[in-house]
Structure 1
Amino acid sequence: MITAIRCGIREEAVISFQLLKQLRRVESEPSTNEAEHNLGDITLSSKEQEILAGVSKGLTNKVIAMDLSMSQRTIEYHLTNIFSKLGVNSRTEALLKAKEFGLLSPQIVE
């Protein structure tokens, strides 16, 4: 209580530690405009493009893994990287954003 009074006298705001943590987290996250602006710098590896091709066909991770002679865990790892690069949380969002920004080869888009 004394701290609040002292802050009031100095015309400072009193905020909880939890609120401060939330503000810092929001401040450190890139804004939507920044994320979209940075998409021009993003490239997908040929493996990531192959995996997205499988996703676009509606294949499961297991089937994609068998088609590409990789483990299912490796497919999951690549998808996590793709999601991170594109700033998305789902397979559908990844496909939409990759197509929107021309990150997929023309054969995959068709």
Structure 2
Amino acid sequence: MNKIKVLIADDHAMVRQGLKTILELEDDICVVAEASNGNEAVEMAKALKPDVLLMDINMPVLSGLQAIKILKESSERYKIIVLTLHQDREYLFKTLQMGCEGYVLKDAESSVLIDAIRSVYGDQTFIQPNMTNELVREFQRVTLYENDKSLSNNLTSREIEVLKLIAEGMINKEIAKNLYISEKTVKNHISNIFKKLDVNDRTQAAIYAFKHNIKV
């Protein structure tokens, strides 16, 4: 029987070891590599071609989001399950928009993660059950304005730049550094963006950017 080859990417050694121990108790799963940062995850994935990647979001060198972006834009098809502490719908929707096949919280039962790996390996999408309501709510919110393509015409060129970086998942400090402006200026731009797009938070703004192809 062919085993499902899994690559674990997490910057905590104890987490990686614990996951490996749990997963290798299953007859149909084997861990082929462990990465401690996003850069290692990308390099190992390209070299080993695992069937499923377990990807943490917060990692050094390259974040999980950056690693996902690189892998999903490559010619290979990588199946990625985000394994994270983040229960925010912002991260859930963001990673699904990027093409990830699964989303599981680190405090989930081991059986949930194992089900996720088998489901994703079988070409299905797996969202941890208690997170699906967040996804549905966000989708409902998106439909309120997804057909309004004229709103972005009211944005200045700088506001569009800021919106693109919001869609990339950057926080205010990162946006300020990227655009060589102050965090206060970033906050002002974001406030104007929310008002012009008639959205209430960064998640809605990011979804608007994706839906209307306003990307970096």
Give the structure with the higher percent strand: 2
Equivalent in 69, 77, 85 of residue 180 of structure 2:
69
- Does the alignment pair 1:81 with 2:192? yes
Residue 96 of structure 1: how far off its partner (Å): 1.4
Q: 1:41 to 1:82 in 2, by over 3 A?
A: closer
Match of 1:24 in 2: none
Q: Distance in 2 between matches of 1:37 and 1:95?
A: 15
Q: 1:98 to 1:59 in 2, by over 3 A?
A: closer
Could you tell me which amino acid in structure 2 is paired with residue 79 of structure 1? I
Structure 2: any 5+ residue segments left out of the alignment? 1-143
Q: 1:96 to 1:41 in 2, by over 3 A?
A: closer
Equivalent in 147, 150, 154 of residue 40 of structure 1:
150
Q: 1:75 to 1:36 in 2, by over 3 A?
A: same
Superimposed CA distance per residue, residues 4-26 of structure 1 (whole angstroms, 9 cap, x where no aligned partner): xxxxxxxxxxxxxxxxxxxxxxx
Q: Distance in 2 between matches of 1:70 and 1:64?
A: 8
Residue 100 of structure 1: how far off its partner (Å): 2.8
Q: Distance in 2 between matches of 1:54 and 1:94?
A: 11
Residue 89 of structure 1: how far off its partner (Å): 0.7
Residue 55 of structure 1: how far off its partner (Å): 1.2
Residue 39 of structure 1: how far off its partner (Å): 5.3
Q: Distance in 1 between matches of 2:167 and 2:152?
A: 19
Higher alpha-carbon deviation: 93-102 or 62-71: 93-102
Q: Distance in 2 between matches of 1:54 and 1:41?
A: 18
- Does the alignment pair 1:56 with 2:156? no
Q: Distance in 1 between matches of 2:191 and 2:158?
A: 13
Give the structure with the higher percent helix: 1
Q: Distance in 1 between matches of 2:191 and 2:176?
A: 15
Taking structure 1 as the reference length, the TM-score comes to 0.54
Residue 38 of structure 1: how far off its partner (Å): 6.7
**Structure having the higher Rg:** 1
Give 1:92-107 correspondences, 5 Å limit.
92-102=203-213, 104=214, 107=215
Q: Distance in 2 between matches of 1:93 and 1:70?
A: 23
Larger relative contact order (CA 8 Å, sep ≥ 6): 1
